[in-house]
Amino acid sequence: MGAVSLQDKRVVITGGARGLGRAFAASALDAGARVVIADILEDLGSQTADDLSVSGDVSFEAVDLGDPVSIERLAAAAKETLGGLDGLVNCAAIATGIGGKTAEEIEIDTWDRVMSVNVRGTWLVVKAFLPALRDTRNGKIVNVASDTAMWGAPRLLHYVASKGAVISMTRSLARELGNDGISVNAIAPGLTLVEATEYVPADRHRQYIEGRAMNREQHPEDVTGAVMYLLSDAADFITGQLLPVNGGFVFN
């Protein structure tokens, strides 16, 4: 089977400065899309856009998912740059450096910050881009959840809860937006070798490798194909679904 085509699709990817988001941006460009990368990491995001520009039409916009005004500015800037929107990938989230604490040890401020960005921020990004997606009448939203919410990873309650919320939001949004021609799906990657997971202890990495049906590390390129498919015309009649992409660590 040939590569998925996103020829001339207009796609916004939050959290696109590094890690999975960068991999999604690179794959979308290779598939023919025009891409806006959005991230709070301004210098790195600009550099990523410059690096990927050899592959196609890509630009960078700064965004802070904890700031509703910043999200509205992103939507306006992306509309001006792309002229419309065919696909939105919600990849941005707080994940780095927050694990390792029990439910009793998590600080309230940290809990609130994770929920503000990972849950409220995802909702507000969707809300801001809905007018453009409705105009397309064939829009695609892909939310990046996590398989931690499927197996109940310990010492990570705030992140696990936030990604569980993203999964539930995906299903509710699918029902709300289906008659607007908008598909809403989520993926649940496993522990992937990216910058955001460098802090994860070696024993958790071993737990994943040994527990997978495919006993190896997971890399960004293991995840990109699922997202490209869900953004493509091949997924026009798929909505409200959660696709685990984790080598068989958990089954849906």
Catalytic sites, residue numbers: 159
Instruction: Please tell me the number of Cα atoms within 13 Å of 23 on its side-chain side.
Output: 17
Distances (CA, A) of 129 to 24, 74, 88, 149, 176: 19, 9, 8, 26, 15
Per-residue tokens: 126: 């969707």
What is the phi/psi pair of residue 200, to 5°?
-65, 130
Evaluate whether 92 touches 56 at the Cβ level (below 8 Å): no
* Nearest alpha-carbon partner for 162 in 102, 215, 121, 109: 121
In 144-154, which positions are buried (b, 16+ CB within 10 angstroms) versus exposed (e)? bbbbbbbbebe
Distances (CA, A) of 14 to 20, 77, 91, 92, 180: 10, 13, 5, 5, 22
